């Protein structure tokens, strides 16, 4: 249960503005704002200057946030103080968010396509899992790679998400319109709504939509009236398409605001979260952050789902101050970027190690990578599906590579069950590897 913040002490609030506070207060307030902490953490800050109670400190914090805040969405009183940490993150992200690929050679293009496929699948899987989809990553990736028809609602959610993100990547330079937003929602929710008629339409007041806790049934949020939606969509499209109008807001933060506002207004009967995250992706790609296509931000969100949900509720409980949501999403974006770097570096090391196995043109890079994997994991059993997923290749290509390695003596084929076959290191594996 999240504790609501205390009422503001008007005297303390005013004293902060005119500088009548203990000098020791300022660094404490700054530390609280660095991570945009909510009352439930701020109240435990120690040590406090003599005579400053936690409630008084909170009034100082709120005064400091109001000082530099900008109205983000005036109709709903949504505001934001862009902190030093937020500005620093955006600057460093811009400076370091370059491409990992220095070449347009065919090998580099293939590598980029593999990473893109892997990341888009991860994003589709985790964005759907956040909203309740339940299946294994292995089954989901196999379905997406092989184009298998989804077998249940969870798989359909993931399939829809993947299709939607691909569509957005192909149309990233187009403006957001009411029609394109409805189309994206229809793609995202196809065959997953209680009523098919709800896909690709805005909710009405008759839908009686509320946000509830899945476990307790507690109503945690009631979105604005459906009569607000037409004006909101018009404002949303303008905010999305016309970044140069109004006060400057860094594109990354602007994308996070789009994510938040779609979830806040809840314009659809269902699928609002998935659609909001898809629009965030679209906006960043539209603003030139092309590596977004290679990052799974939803994976990081899923790994801290409680913090994600709390960020929404902190904003709601604290007068629509979305600093909590912005701060959380910047951290997630940073983690996602680091994960991408780690993944790319790991794959490059695998390829570099595999290169030493290639001799006289007998082994391809893919085949060498299979051998390198079994060299590093001697007890592993590979299947055709494993190779498909690891190397992002077709069933035919995976089977052909494994059969060739069996023929050359590197691998041994074993029967896993009446249908499935596996592949392990042969008795001559080490001998043949050492010759290379």
124 vs 349 pLDDT, higher one: 124
* Percentage of the chain exceeding pLDDT 90: 60
pLDDT band at 386, cuts 50/70/90?
confident
Would the pLDDT of 95 be above 70?
A: yes
* Percentage of the chain exceeding pLDDT 70: 92
Mean per-residue pLDDT, 199-226: 85
Would the pLDDT of 215 be above 70?
A: no
Would the pLDDT of 98 be above 70?
A: no
SS3 readout for the chain: CCCCCCCCCHHHHHHHHCCCCCCCHHHHHHHHHHCCCCHHHHCCCCCCCCCCCHHHHHHHHHHHHHHCEEEEEHHHCEEEECCHHHHHHHHHHHHHCCCCCCCCCHHHHHHHHHHHHHHHHHHHHHHHHHCCCCCCHHHHHHHHHHCCCCCCHHHHHHHHHHHHHHHHHHCCCCCCCHHHHHHHHHHHHCCCCCCHHHCCCCCCHHHCCCEECCCCCCEEECCCCHHHHHHHHHHHHHHHHCCCCCCCCCHHHHHHHHHHHHHHHCCCCCCHHHHHHHHHHHHHHHCCCHHHHHCCHHHHHHCCHHHHHHHHHHHHHCCCECHHHHHHHHHHHHHHHHHHHHHHHHHHHHHHHHHCCCCCCCCCHHHHHHHHHHHHCCCCCECHHHHHHHHCCCHHHHHHHHHHHHHCCCEEEEECCCCCEEEEECCCHHHHHHHC
Task: Return mean pLDDT, the chain.
Answer: 88
Q: What pTM did the predictor assign?
A: 0.84
pLDDT for 247 equals 81
pLDDT for 264 equals 96
pLDDT for 379 equals 86
pLDDT for 105 equals 47
pLDDT for 110 equals 62
Would the pLDDT of 284 be above 50?
A: yes
What is the per-residue pLDDT across 183-205, written as a single tens digit (0 to 9) for each?
999 999 999 999 999 999 999 99
Mean per-residue pLDDT, 233-247: 90
pLDDT for 141 equals 83
Which of 46-50, 321-325, 432-436 tops mean pLDDT? Answer: 321-325
What is the per-residue pLDDT across 387-415, written as a single tens digit (0 to 9) for each?
887 787 888 999 999 999 999 999 999 99
Would the pLDDT of 180 be above 90?
A: yes
Mean per-residue pLDDT, 139-163: 89
Would the pLDDT of 219 be above 90?
A: no
pLDDT band at 357, cuts 50/70/90?
low
What is the per-residue pLDDT across 55-90, written as a single tens digit (0 to 9) for each?
999 999 999 999 889 999 999 999 999 999 999 999
Would the pLDDT of 113 be above 80?
A: no
Would the pLDDT of 353 be above 70?
A: no
């Amino acid at each position: 249960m999240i504790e609501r913040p205390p009422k503001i002490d008007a005297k303390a609030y005013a004293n902060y503005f005119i500088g009548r506070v203990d000098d020791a207060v300022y660094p404490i307030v700054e530390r609280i704002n660095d991570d945009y902490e909510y009352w439930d953490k701020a109240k435990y800050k120690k040590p406090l200057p003599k005579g400053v109670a936690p409630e008084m400190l909170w009034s100082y914090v709120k005064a400091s946030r109001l000082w530099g805040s900008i109205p983000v969405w005036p109709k709903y009183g949504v505001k934001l103080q862009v902190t030093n940490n937020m500005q620093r993150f955006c600057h460093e992200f811009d400076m370091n968010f370059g491409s990992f690929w220095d070449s347009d050679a065919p090998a580099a293009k293939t590598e980029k396509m593999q990473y893109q496929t892997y990341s888009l699948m991860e994003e589709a899987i985790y964005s759907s899992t956040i909203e309740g989809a339940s299946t294994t990553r292995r089954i989901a990736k196999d379905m997406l790679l092989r184009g298998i028809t989804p077998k249940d609602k969870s798989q359909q959610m993931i399939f829809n998400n993947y299709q939607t993100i691909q569509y957005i990547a192909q149309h990233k330079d187009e403006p957001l319109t009411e029609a394109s937003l409805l189309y994206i929602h229809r793609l995202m929710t196809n065959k997953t709504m209680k009523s098919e008629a709800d896909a690709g339409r805005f909710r009405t007041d008759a839908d009686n939509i509320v946000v509830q806790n899945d476990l307790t049934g507690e109503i945690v949020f009631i979105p604005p009236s459906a009569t607000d939606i037409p004006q909101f969509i018009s404002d949303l499209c303008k905010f999305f398409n016309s970044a140069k109008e109004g006060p400057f807001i860094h594109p990354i933060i602007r994308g996070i605001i789009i994510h938040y506002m779609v979830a806040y207004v809840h314009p659809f009967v269902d699928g609002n979260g998935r659609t909001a995250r898809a629009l965030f992706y679209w906006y960043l790609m539209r603003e030139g952050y092309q590596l977004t296509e290679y990052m799974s931000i939803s994976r990081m969100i899923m790994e801290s789902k409680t913090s994600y949900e709390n960020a929404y509720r902190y904003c709601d409980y604290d007068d629509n101050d979305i600093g909590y949501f912005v701060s959380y999403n910047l951290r997630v974006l940073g983690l996602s970027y680091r994960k991408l770097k780690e993944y790319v570096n790991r794959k490059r090391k695998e390829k570099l190690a595999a290169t030493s196995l290639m001799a006289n043109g007998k082994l391809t890079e893919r085949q060498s990578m299979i051998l390198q994997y079994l060299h590093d994991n001697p007890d592993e059993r590979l299947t055709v599906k494993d190779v498909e997923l690891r190397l992002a290749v077709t069933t035919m290509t995976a089977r052909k590579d494994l059969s060739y390695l069996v023929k050359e003596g590197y691998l041994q084929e074993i029967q896993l069950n009446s249908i499935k076959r596996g592949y392990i290191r042969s008795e001559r594996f080490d001998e043949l590897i050492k010759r290379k």
